[in-house]
Amino acid sequence: MAALLLHGQVIVPMQLVARVPAALFYWPLMQLAGAATDNIALGVSVGSKGRGNLPGGTSDMRATLLLLLIGKCTADPASFSEVDGEEFFRVLLDDTDARVAYYSSTFLLKRMMTEEPESYQHLLQSLVLRAQQSNNETLLENPYLQMRGLLQLSNE
Average pLDDT, stretch 66-85?
A: 93
pLDDT of residue 46: 35
Of 126 and 1, the one with more pLDDT: 126
How many CB atoms neighbour CB 101 within 10 A?
22
Instruction: Decide if pLDDT at 54 tops 80.
Output: no
pLDDT of residue 64: 92
Of 34 and 99, the one with more pLDDT: 99
Could you give the CA distance from residue 3 to residue 47 in angstroms, rounded to a whole number? Answer: 9
pLDDT of residue 55: 53
Which residues, at least 6 apart from 49, have a Cβ–Cβ distance to it below 8 Å? 3, 56
Domain boundaries, the chain: 2-103, 116-156
pLDDT of residue 47: 40
pLDDT of residue 51: 39
Mean pLDDT for the chain overall: 83
pLDDT of residue 40: 45
Q: Are 119 and 149 in contact (CB under 8 A)?
A: no
Q: pLDDT band at residue 35, thresholds of 50, 70 and 90?
A: low
Q: Return the percentage of the chain with pLDDT > 90, whole number.
A: 55
Q: What is the pLDDT of residues 112-139, one digit of tens each?
A: 999 999 999 999 999 999 999 999 888 8
**The whole model's pTM is what?**
0.81
